[in-house]
Amino acid sequence: MTPRSALGALHIGALMFGLTGVFGKLAAASPAIIVFGRAVFAVVALALFARFASNTAWKKLELRDWRRLLVSGVLLAAHWVTFFIAVKVAGVAVATLGFTAFPAFTVILEGLIFRERIRANEVLLVVLVSIGLVLVTPDFNLASEATGGLLWGIASGLLFSLLSLNNRASSGRIPAVQAALCQNVVVAACLLPVAAPGLADVRAIDWLWIGLLGVFCTGLAHSLFVASLAVIKARTASVVFAMEPVYGITAAWLLFAETPTLRMLLGGVLIIVAIVLSGLMGGASQAKQPAATA
């Protein structure tokens, strides 16, 4: 890839990730079936990418690697299920904004788990996300479906944060595509007992949406992200992927008439700004590490 094509691939990947909620809402199936189907189609797509488009050699996994992949797969399954529950309950826009709170969870949990000092700019990140979530909350009433859906979305963000931290612990040992494929196998295995009784009742059109979700929004999007990182800095990639909720909310606006209120837009802007700051801070810290080593 050239830097220009890698940047284009990143935007395509962000768009595909942003459409996750849209395909999940189009599929008239339970969250368990959607996640199971998504994982199966993703495994096929990632296997094809690894076979024909990736030059990275797979590594022999040790017992500790299998344990981490198993934990990651369970967290990924729970993250997807809670996200699609949020989509079904409150719509794509609210679910997406709830999920995008994950950088704040990451800052707090990273400090607790890895015993790292939380800096002032990271506190600002948590504050921005918190204010954004307050603005996004449609009604401060737990009986409200919209509020319940937002809470499911926030739970999805918390689980994604835990997944990211678990992946950080094993980063550098397992190639990204290999790790993603193994994690999706675990997801499919976890959801099979729950999804199996209803698979025969899934309509053909719903399999189409689930297939697009697995192939494009998971397998291809992840592959584009991994391939582009060979050319683009991680800092740039993080900023580009801050566009993911913008794409998702815009698509929901156009397809489902989920018109966001001014208050929701302001909250969304604060959360997206927090994501950009998180990416810039992460890139800056990574840049300092090689210099300190030298």
Does the model's pTM come out above 0.85? no
Average pLDDT, integer, range 35-55:
87
State the pLDDT at residue 284: 53
Percent of the chain's residues with pLDDT above 70: 84
> Is it the case that residue 289 has pLDDT exceeding 50?
no
Dist. CA 95–CA 157, nearest whole Å: 10
pLDDT tens-digit readout, 80-106: 999 999 999 988 888 888 888 887 787
Residue that wins the pLDDT comparison between 221 and 137: 221
Tens digits of residue pLDDT in 152-166: 999 998 998 888 788
Overall average pLDDT of the 22-36 stretch = 94
The yes-or-no verdict on residue 118 having pLDDT over 90 is no
Report the pLDDT averaged over residues 110-121.
Answer: 71
User: pLDDT grade, residue 248 (50/70/90)?
Assistant: confident
